[in-house]
Amino acid sequence: MYSKKFARLAFGLLAESTFISRLTRNVSSKVKPLRSLCSWTVCQHHRQENQLSNGLTRLNVRTVSHTTLDPAEVRKFQAMASKWWDLQGDFSALHSMNDLRVPFIRDNLLNVHGVWQLGKPLTGLRILDVGCGGGVLSEPLGRLGADVLGIDPVEDSVWTADLHCSYDPELRERVRYQACTLEDLAEEEVEGFHAVVASEVVEHLADLDAFANCCHQVLKPGGSLFITTINKTNLSYVFGIVAAEQLLRIVPSGTHDWEKFISPEDLERLLESFGFHVDSIRGMMYNPLTGAWSWQQSTAINYALHAVKRKEEPQPDRVWAESENLNEPGQAKSYS
Ligand SMILES: C[S@@+](CC[C@H](N)C(=O)[O-])C[C@H]1O[C@@H](n2cnc3c(N)ncnc32)[C@H](O)[C@@H]1O
C-alpha cells in the first residue's frame, strides 16, 4: 500500500510543472481543514506559550482534544502488523527512507548536542520513536548508540518490532518497545527524552494539538522533535485522492484522508505555538523506479522537519530577585 502511495505522490510531483498544477492551484485554499471534526473525545486544558509585546512569556489556556488516536487508523495498521520487515512489501518505501531520515536525525542531534563519538555517535541520548510500527526506524537509531523507546498503539506491530529486535542481543539492550499512546506516556515521562521522532505518523493522528502538546511535555528543554510527513497540496489532493482513489481506483477509496495532511507552514505555526522553534524543513522525493529517496528543494509532497523545544526564558522579575539575593548572602531565594 505504501509503495503505491509514494509512487503516486512522486508522480504528482513530476506533474507539478504542467498545466495541472495551474488548474488546481487554489484547491487547497478552498478546502477548509476539518481536523477538528476528527476529534472524538473530551477536552483538556494545556499551556500555550505566547510572546507578549513586552517580551515576557505568558501562559495561555487552550482547549485541545485529549487523544491522538483515530480508531480507523489503528484498524488499518492492525491489518498490516506482520508485514513490517518484508523489504519488498507494503512498507518497502519506509525501509528505503532510512537512507535520508537516519542521517537527518543523527546530524541534527549531533549539531544540537555537540558530542561526536566514532561508531556510536548517539550514545547517551534517549529517543522516543512515536508510531514506531515494526521498529523500522527505531533499530538503526539504536545501532547509532541511542537508547530508543518505540511506542505504537497497535499491539501486534509492537510485538513484531520486539521479535525482530530480539534477534540482535546488542540492540536488545538499547531498544525497547511499548504498546501505548503518546498521551499515556506523557503522563509518566515528563522531560525524559533528548529527542522525539514521529516519522510518517502525523498524517494518521486524530489531533495534532494533542500530539504537539505531548511532544513538548516529554522532551527535555532544548530537545529535538523530528517529523517526516506529507504536504497538503493541490497535487496530493488531485492525484492522491481524486485520481488514485476515486477515478483510477489504484487504492481503495478512503485509504487516505487528505484533510489530515499538513503543510510545512501550518506545521511550523502549530509547533511554534506549542513552544518549539522550527530549525529546518527539507523536501524529500521518492523515485518509484529506483525505490530510492532523495532530498529536494521542493516540499510540495514529502518533507522532513526538525524543531527544538525552547528553553524557558528567565523572567525579568525573577532575574531581579536572584541578583538581589546574591547581594545578601545567606538569604533564601524568593521568586515572585
Ligand atoms: C506509516 S506508519 C510509520 C511507522 C514508522 N514510524 C516508520 O516510519 O517506519 C504509521 C504508524 O503510526 C501508528 N499510529 C497510528 N496512530 C497513532 C497514534 N495515535 N499514536 C502513535 N502512533 C500511531 C500506526 O500504528 C503506524 O505504526
268 lies in some domain:
yes
Task: Identify which has the larger pLDDT, 6 or 67.
Answer: 67
Query: Taking 80 as the threshold, does the pLDDT of residue 53 lie above it?
Result: no
Res. 116 pLDDT band, cuts 50 70 90: low
Percent of the chain scored above 70 by pLDDT? Answer: 67
Per-residue confidence band for 261, with pLDDT thresholds at 50, 70 and 90: very high
What's the mean pLDDT in 291-299? 92
* Cα 249 to middle of ligand 1, angstroms: 24
Most confident of 76-85, 177-186, 284-293: 177-186
Q: Which pLDDT does position 237 carry in this prediction?
A: 75
> Cα(318)–Cα(312) distance, rounded to whole angstroms?
12
Q: Mean pLDDT over residues 38-45, rounded?
A: 28
Closest CA to 227 of 90, 135, 129: 129
The verdict on the CB of residue 68 being under 6 Å from ligand 1 is yes
Among the atoms of ligand 1, which is closest to the Cα of residue 181? 20
Confidence (pLDDT) at 128? 98
Structural domains of the chain, count:
1
**How many Å apart are CA 252 and CA 99, to the nearest integer?**
29
Mean pLDDT of 43-49: 32
Mean pLDDT in residue range 82-98: 90
> Helix axis angle, 71-78 relative to 155-166, nearest 10°?
40
**Nearest protein Cα to ligand 1, atom 5:** 132
157: Cβ below 6 Å to ligand 1? yes
In this structure, is residue 316 part of a structural domain? yes
Task: Give me ligand 1 centre to Cα 130, in Å.
Answer: 7
At 243 the pLDDT is 52
Residue 157's pLDDT is 97
- Is the beta carbon of 148 within 6 A of some atom in ligand 1? no
204 in ligand 1 pocket by Cβ < 6 Å? yes
Q: Which of 39-48, 85-94, 101-110, 322-331 has the lowest mean pLDDT?
A: 39-48
Average pLDDT, the chain: 76
Chain-centroid distance of CA 292 in Å reads 21
From the number of C-beta atoms within 10 Å of its C-beta (0-12, 13-18, 19+), residue 332 rates as exposed
Rounded distance, CA 9 to CA 241, Å?
A: 10
| Res. 258 pLDDT band, cuts 50 70 90 | confident
Q: What is the pLDDT of residue 73?
A: 87
Residue 44 resides in a domain: yes
pLDDT of residue 25: 31
Pocket test of ligand 1: the residue of 83, 201, 203, 226 to mutate, having most ligand atoms within 8 Å of its CB, is 201
Q: Are 134 and 112 in contact (CB under 8 A)?
A: no
What pLDDT digit, counting tens, does each position of 155-191 carry? 999 999 999 999 999 899 999 999 999 999 999 889 9
Question: Residue 97: inside a domain, yes or no?
Answer: yes
Residue whose Cα lies nearest atom 1 of ligand 1: it is 200
Name the residue at shortest CA distance from atom 27 of ligand 1. 133
Q: Does ligand 1 come within 6 angstroms of the Cβ of 154? A: yes
In a domain, 249, yes or no: yes
* 62 inside domain: yes
Range of the domain at 25: 2-327
The reply to whether 332 falls in a domain is no
Choice from 68, 152, 177 to test ligand 1 binding pocket (greatest atom count within 8 A of CB): 152
Residue 17 has pLDDT above 50, yes or no: no
**Comparing 227 with 317, which gets the higher pLDDT?**
227
Domain for residue 335, yes or no? no
CATH number at residue 303: 3.40.50.150
